[in-house]
Amino acid sequence: MQKNIKIFVAGHRGLVGSAIVNLLKKKGFNKIILKTRKQLDLKKQTEVNNFFKKYKPEIVIIAAAKVGGIYANSKFPASFIYENLMIQNNLIHSSYENKVKKVIFLGSSCIYPKYAKQPIKEDYLLNGELESTNIAYAIAKISGLIMCDSYNKQYKNVTDFRCLMPTNLYGPGDNYHGLNSHVIPALIKRFHKAKVSNQKSVKVWGNGEARREFLYSEDLADAVVHIMKLSKLKYKKYLSLKSNHINIGSGQEYTIKKLAKIISKIIGYKGKIEFDKSKPNGTMRKYLSNQIMKKLGWKPSVKLQDGILKTYKEFKKLDS
C-alpha cells in the first residue's frame, strides 16, 4: 500500500483514533486527514459531504463515536442512539457517494446478545436479546454494521466497507470521567484517589462476578492497520458466511473482582475493595472468538498488567 494514500481518521482525538493515527505515522503514511469537532461536525450531512468533496479521502477509518460506561448508556440513551447513527450514516453514505476506496467501521462487542454462547462468534449477531443497559448504543452500532454490509451487497463493484468489532478497550487517551467512563479508567481514577486521600475502602459496581475481556488501544490500532492493508479478496475470503464483520479480541477474560485487584495492586492501594450489589453488573460475560483474526495472521501483543501500567502512568501525568 502506497504511503501517500489519503486516509481520513474520524475521531482522531479519542482513545482509538489517537492510537490509529500514531501507528499510521510510525508506519510512514504521510497524508493523514484530521478534523476536530469544531472544524467538522460529523452529525451534519451537508458538512460531511462537502468535506469529502474537498479533501477526497481514499480510505476512511470510522473511530468517531459517542461512548461511555453503564451509567452513561443508561442515563443518556437518546444521545447515544442519535449521535452515533448520525455520525456513521453521514460517513458511510458520503464514502459511497465520493467513491472512497476502503472504509473501516469500528463497532463494539455490545452488539451481541446478552446470553450469547461463549466465546462469541460473528454469526451470533441478532440471535437474542441485547443487554438493556446499553441497548441504544448497541442498536446504533448494529445499524452501522448492517449499513456497511448493505452497501457492499448493493454496490459490490464500488464499495469495500469493512467492519471490526473490538472487545472492551482501554489505554492512553481514555475518558476518566467519574460516571461516564468505562470500567478500567473508572477504577484507575477511583483507586488513585483512594490512595492519595488514604481512603479505607473503594466501592466497585456490581457483585464482581461479571467477566470481561480487555484489549489495549495500541493493539486495536495494529489490527485496524492490518485489516486496512489486506486486499479485498483476502478480507472477504475469511469472513463468516453470515456476516461482514470480524471480532478483535485479546483471548483472555477476567472477573471484575480480579480486575479490581490487579488495578489496586498496580496503583499501590492497600485498602478494602467493596462491591456494591445494588448497582448493575451489565452483561455477565462477553468473550469474543478471535479465530478469524488469527487466520489473517494477527494477534495482540500487550498483556493486561503491562497495558494498565502504561495507562496509569499517563493518567498520573494528566492528574498532576
What pLDDT does residue 28 have?
A: 98
pTM value is 0.94
Q: What CATH number does the domain containing 201 carry?
A: 3.40.50.720
Q: Across residues 59-71, what is the average pLDDT?
A: 91
Residue 110, domain member (yes or no): yes
Q: How many whole angstroms separate alpha carbon 223 and alpha carbon 221?
A: 5
pLDDT tens digits for range 211-253? 999 999 999 999 999 999 999 999 999 998 788 899 999 999 9
Could you tell me what percent of the chain has a pLDDT over 70? 99
Residue 2, domain member (yes or no): no
pLDDT tens digits for range 23-61? 999 999 999 999 999 999 999 999 999 999 999 999 999
Q: Has residue 177 got a pLDDT over 80? A: no
Q: Which residues are catalytic?
A: 137
Residue 93, domain member (yes or no): yes
Question: Phi-psi bin for 88: left (phi > 0), alpha (psi -120 to 50), beta?
Answer: alpha
What one-character DSSP code corresponds to residue 200?
S
What pLDDT does residue 178 have?
A: 65
Q: How many whole angstroms separate alpha carbon 247 and alpha carbon 259?
A: 22
Q: Has residue 274 got a pLDDT over 80? A: yes
Residue 192, domain member (yes or no): yes
Residue 284, domain member (yes or no): yes
Amino acid at 189: K
Q: How many whole angstroms separate alpha carbon 60 and alpha carbon 20?
A: 12
Residue 1, domain member (yes or no): no
Please enumerate, as own/partner, the contacts of 315-320 that have beta carbons within 8 Å and a separation of 24 or more. Answer: 315/176, 315/185, 315/188, 315/189, 315/192, 316/192, 318/176, 319/192
Q: How many whole angstroms separate alpha carbon 186 and alpha carbon 177?
A: 7
Q: Across residues 258-278, what is the average pLDDT?
A: 97
Upstream peptide bond of 113 is cis (omega within 30 degrees of 0):
no
Residue 122, domain member (yes or no): yes
What pLDDT does residue 173 have?
A: 86
- Convert 239-305 into a string of H (helix), E (strand) and C (coil): CCCCCCEEEECCCCEEEHHHHHHHHHHHHCCCCEEEEECCCCCCCCEECECCHHHHHCCCCCCCCHH
Q: Across residues 119-144, what is the average pLDDT?
A: 95
Q: Across residues 9-20, what is the average pLDDT?
A: 96
Q: How confident is the model at residue 69 (pLDDT cuts 50, 70, 90)?
A: confident
pLDDT tens digits for range 140-175? 999 999 999 999 999 999 999 999 999 999 999 898
Residue 150, domain member (yes or no): yes
- Is the separation of the CB atoms in 144 and 88 below 8 Å? yes
Q: Please give the residue range of the domain that contains residue 39.
A: 7-319
What pLDDT does residue 180 have?
A: 67
- Mean pLDDT score of the chain: 95
Q: How many whole angstroms separate alpha carbon 315 and alpha carbon 241?
A: 42
Number of domains within the chain? 1
